[in-house]
């Protein structure tokens, strides 16, 4: 799958607000929300093709207890979303 970016930050939403987290942003979203602030993951998709195993390896860190996937709309159009999510 095309991955736009993987970065560490503090969760800013929901029950895990304030918890250090790693974020994985997929690229290639086919929606065109007027409020989109990540055109590099939507209108002009950028990133690198990565396997699920490679993504898991990147996010595995002893000092990060949670991870979040961003831009999952892309999985609606990927060839095998169920396989991607369960791998
Ligand atoms: S990346 Fe998010 S905000 Fe941007 S177009 Fe897709 S769904 Fe909308």
pTM over 0.85: no
Q: Report whether pLDDT(83) > 60.
A: no
Mean pLDDT, the chain, whole residue set: 83
**Number of domains observed in the structure of the chain:** 1
Which protein residue has the closest C-alpha to ligand 1 atom 8? 33
- Closest by CA to 52, choosing from 77, 73, 78, 30, is 78
Q: How many whole angstroms from 71 Cα to the centroid of ligand 1?
A: 7
Please write down the long-range contacts of 13-19, taking CB distance under 8 Å and 24 or more positions apart.
16/66, 19/65, 19/66
Asked whether 60 and 67 are in contact (CB, 8 A), the reply is: no
Residue 41 beta carbon below 6 angstroms from any ligand 1 atom:
yes
Q: How many whole angstroms from 31 Cα to the centroid of ligand 1?
A: 6
Instruction: Give me the domain span that covers residue 41.
Output: 2-86
Question: What's the CATH code of the domain at 14?
Answer: 3.20.20.70
Q: How many whole angstroms from 27 Cα to the centroid of ligand 1?
A: 10
Tens-digit pLDDT profile for residues 23-45: 999 999 888 899 999 999 998 99
Please write down the long-range contacts of 16-19, taking CB distance under 8 Å and 24 or more positions apart.
16/66, 19/65, 19/66
């Amino acid at each position: 799958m095309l991955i736009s970016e993987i970065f560490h930050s503090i969760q800013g939403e929901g029950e895990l607000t304030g918890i250090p987290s790693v974020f994985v942003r997929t690229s290639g979203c086919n929606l065109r929300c007027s409020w989109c602030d990540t055109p590099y993951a939507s209108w002009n998709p950028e990133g690198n093709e990565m396997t699920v195993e490679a993504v898991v390896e990147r996010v595995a860190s002893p000092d990060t207890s949670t991870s979040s996937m961003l831009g999952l709309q892309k999985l609606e159009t990927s060839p095998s979303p169920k396989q991607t999510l369960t791998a």
